[in-house]
Amino acid sequence: MNLCYTPAVMPEQEDPKALAAKLLELRAQSASENLTKATERFFTQSNAVAKMMIDFYDRVIILNGGTITLSLTIIGMLVKSGHPLPHGRGFIFTAWSCFVISLISAILRNWKEPERLVNSESLVLTFAVTESYASMVAQAQSLGVTLAPEISSKIVDAGNETFKTQQGLVNKLSNFTKGVGWISLGALVLGYILLVLFVGCNAKSLLT
């Protein structure tokens, strides 16, 4: 009985440098995908929060108008009931000023907030387009393909310059909306404190 021995075929070992390059490429691809997903999730959540804040300041506007109307009604009740002019009139006049400032600030904030959202989305789009084009140019150069270097460089530089300009505009709009938002809330709180002081000064008249 003849036995045939077939030697085992050993798998061809891959070049360590090629293997390392492949692993680095896979790692970069995975990191890019994770970054894309995280960026999309971040901007989706940011836009949702921004829309919630717009709704919140809409309610602040309504609250300011309602409070002014209520305070005028209280003063009207005091005058009609034959009581003397309300005490602490400085409190109520200052409170009205605070409510008006709060109302105007909230309106200005909600007026500029959509513009900030649009510019933020435009900023992300500009960055994505510029990076995509720069990556395409780099890949073409690595393959020995020439894509008019001077023109390509100008396009990338123009994209980066546009990105910086839009980023500055978004920062200005963000600072503006945050600033007038805090002014609106601060004036609202101060107005209520002064309104409470006014009611306290006239509590006896209101109860009789």
Question: How much is the pLDDT for 115?
Answer: 83
Listed as ranges, residues in the chain with pLDDT below 50 are 1, 9-10
pLDDT digits (tens, 9 = 90+) for 5-15: 555 544 555 66
Q: Where are the domains of the chain?
A: 53-207
For the 53-207 domain, the top CATH level (class) is mainly alpha
pLDDT digits (tens, 9 = 90+) for 82-93: 666 677 788 888
Question: How much is the pLDDT for 76?
Answer: 78
Question: How much is the pLDDT for 39?
Answer: 67
Question: How much is the pLDDT for 160?
Answer: 76
Question: How much is the pLDDT for 185?
Answer: 93
Question: How much is the pLDDT for 77?
Answer: 75
Residue 144 burial class via C-beta count within 10 angstroms: exposed 0-12, middle 13-18, buried 19 and up: exposed
pLDDT digits (tens, 9 = 90+) for 20-33: 666 666 665 665 66
Predicted TM-score (pTM) of this structure: 0.68
Question: How much is the pLDDT for 28?
Answer: 57
